[in-house]
Each structure stands twice: as C-alpha cells, then as structure tokens.
Amino acid sequence: MDIPVTDNVLTKVKGKVIVLTGGAQGIGGTLVKTSYTAGAHLFVGDWDAEKGEALAASLRADKEASANGGSVTFLRVDVTNYKSQLALFEAAIAAHGHIDTAVPFAAAGEPRGFFEPDALTIESLQQEPTAIRDRLELNVLSVVYFCRIALAYMRNPSPEAAQRAFDAKEPMPRSIVLMSSLAGIGENPGVPIYNASKHAITGLLRSFAPYTPTRYNVRVNAMCPSATNTRMIDSITGAWVAAGLPLNEPEDVVRFILLCATDEHRNGNAVYISGGKGVDIEEGYLRTMPQWMGEQHTTELAAKRVFSGLGDGWV
C-alpha cells in the first residue's frame, strides 16, 4: 500500500535542526534547499567545498527562501574520517544544543574494473583492489560512524527512561533517516560492491529499528529510491525514460525523508520510492513471511527473535 505524502509535511520542519552529509548536490542538496526554505536549521557536510559553500551562500542571499528563519552552516567533511564527521555534529550542538534529524547521504556508485570479465584476470589479482575497500569505507563504514555519533547526541540520557517512553508509546521527535536504495532490497547485477553496500544499510535499519527507540528514544527509517534524476545516473537517464520506466525527482525522495523525520511514531520503514510513490518494504516483508518462508520457519524465527531480545549479553 502506498504511503500518502504531500507538501504539507514541510509545515512540520520549521525550527528543526538537521545534520546531513553529502548535502552539496543531488537529493541531499534538494533536502537542504527544501528544509531551509521551510525554516529548518541545516548543518551540511560534504567533501566538495566549492559546491557546498555556493549552495549555502545562494540560500542565505535568497530573501524569499530565507523568509521562514532557516539557517544553513556548511563544513567540508571527509565522511571516512571519524573526527571530521564529529566536528559537523559538534557544530550543530554548539549552535542549538540539540539535533532533531540526521541523514547520511554521502555515497558513491560502483568502482569499475574489478568484476568485469575483461578486467578480472589472473594477472589482475596481483594488484590489491584498494578501490573496493575505499568504496565500502565510504558507503558503509562512514554511515556506521555517522549513526554512532548521531545516537550519542540525540539520545534520551537514561536508557530506562527511554524504555518507559517507548512502552508508553510516547512520541519520539528525533530520528535518523538512512539512505539505502533499490539496490538495498533486490538484486542489481553488475554492481556487486554498490549492491552489497546498500544491503548493508538496509541491515543497519533492521538492527536499529527495534533497538534505538527502546535504548535512545531515536527512530530509524530508510529510503530505498529507485532511479532518481540526479547526476549519479546521468549516463542512463535518457534510456530509462525512453523505456517508459518511472523516474523519481529529488523532491519526491525529500518528501518521504521529511515524512519519516517528522512523523513521531514512524519507525523501521524501508520506503521504496518509484515515480514519486512510496511503499514500506518492511511491512510487506514481515506480513508475507509465512507465505515465502513457511509457517513453521516463521514461527521458529519469531521465537528466536524473542530469545535474542535486543542482543544484551551477546557481545
């Protein structure tokens, strides 16, 4: 079932403090523009300082966009450097004392020249494929860093109080929105590193969703957009549209990000977005499990999850 979302979600953004990486362009840049115009306070990290500074300056200079009292602070951030990410969060805390939403956008596509048949030869094995490690560090490890820092700054100070609030179904205003992909919920032949890295982000969601609300009072959701009209897919956009396939605009994805950020009871969604419409993959995954796993395996898995709890004492 489609998740309803409209531009009305923007009315809930005013005054919110949002930290994001990869915000100089693409979907991240669109989130910055949209949220700034709605009156949010943005702390934007990106490796591309020229584009990031230009975006921030253009927003500040736009009187109409600035009418709702938004602010934007840009920092050059290397997301693979823990201290660099930490500085971004520290800037937000120093200015506002809290953070409402955190979104790690920074990522890159498939490193080429490692699994193509003409590139994968016995001779090529003599060279360590460091670009694979670097891409996984960017797409996966940096997100783990980001989430760890975000949870520390966004948490309820008392795990016991967090558990009580969760049990009472109290609203949870603070959230992390992860950026997975269509590649994080299905097969994408020919892009194994990107596919693996986005599956890792979906795995983070599935681990965090039952855990962070009860331990920190922080919700976690994830976006899983299909092809979106950004620079990352420039090489295939024309053919994609010519084939009659639905294409997202960045604004479509941003609406779902802000819905998940501001709906204080929404947690654990993996929102697949195609042609501007979104559906929660996790709801269908769990609901139909008896059909594709069988009743016995589903029942046993549920019992194993109850036994494992939240992992206390396992590590």
Structural domains in the chain plus CATH codes: 7-308 (3.40.50.720)
Please check the confidence at residue 315 and state whether its pLDDT lies above 60.
Answer: no
Sheet bearing 41-46, strands edge to edge: 71-76, 41-46, 17-21, 101-104, 175-179, 219-225, 270-274, 277-280
Tokens of 241: 């549209």
Rounded distance between C-alpha atoms, residue 44 and residue 92, angstroms: 10
Least confident piece of the model among 55-59, 187-191, 220-224: 187-191
pLDDT category of residue 7 using cuts at 50, 70 and 90: confident
On whether the CB atoms of residues 165 and 143 are closer than 8 A, the answer is no
Question: Which of left, alpha, beta for 227 (phi over 0: left; psi -120 to 50: alpha)?
Answer: beta
Q: Which are the contacts of 11, defined by CB distance < 8 A and separation ≥ 6?
A: 38
3-state secondary structure of 179: strand
Instruction: Measure Cα distances from 9 to 1, 4, 66, 228, 280 in Å.
Output: 19, 11, 18, 20, 18
Instruction: Measure Cα distances from 44 to 48, 69, 79, 106 in Å.
Output: 11, 17, 12, 11
The alpha helices in 227-308, defined as continuous H runs, are 234-242, 250-262, 281-287, 289-293, 295-308
On whether the CB atoms of residues 267 and 213 are closer than 8 A, the answer is yes
On whether the CB atoms of residues 35 and 70 are closer than 8 A, the answer is yes
pLDDT category of residue 178 using cuts at 50, 70 and 90: very high
Looking at every residue in the chain, the average pLDDT score rounds to: 94
Tell me, what's the pLDDT at 45? 98
What pLDDT digit, counting tens, does each position of 257-303 carry?
A: 999 999 999 999 999 999 999 999 999 999 999 999 999 999 999 99
Please check the confidence at residue 19 and state whether its pLDDT lies above 80.
Answer: yes
Please check the confidence at residue 201 and state whether its pLDDT lies above 90.
Answer: yes
Tell me, what's the pLDDT at 187? 85
The stretch 48-72 carries a mean pLDDT of: 97
pLDDT category of residue 305 using cuts at 50, 70 and 90: confident
The stretch 208-222 carries a mean pLDDT of: 96
Q: pTM for this structure?
A: 0.95
Percent of the chain with pLDDT over 70: 99
Please check the confidence at residue 105 and state whether its pLDDT lies above 90.
Answer: yes
What pLDDT digit, counting tens, does each position of 138-153 carry?
A: 999 999 999 999 999 9
The larger pLDDT score, comparing residue 248 to residue 176, is at 176
The alpha helices in 123-249, defined as continuous H runs, are 130-136, 142-154, 159-167, 192-208, 212-216, 234-242
Distance from first CA to last CA of the chain, Å, rounded? Answer: 38
3-state secondary structure of 101: strand
pLDDT category of residue 157 using cuts at 50, 70 and 90: confident
Tell me, what's the pLDDT at 256? 97
The stretch 38-50 carries a mean pLDDT of: 97
Tell me, what's the pLDDT at 314? 67
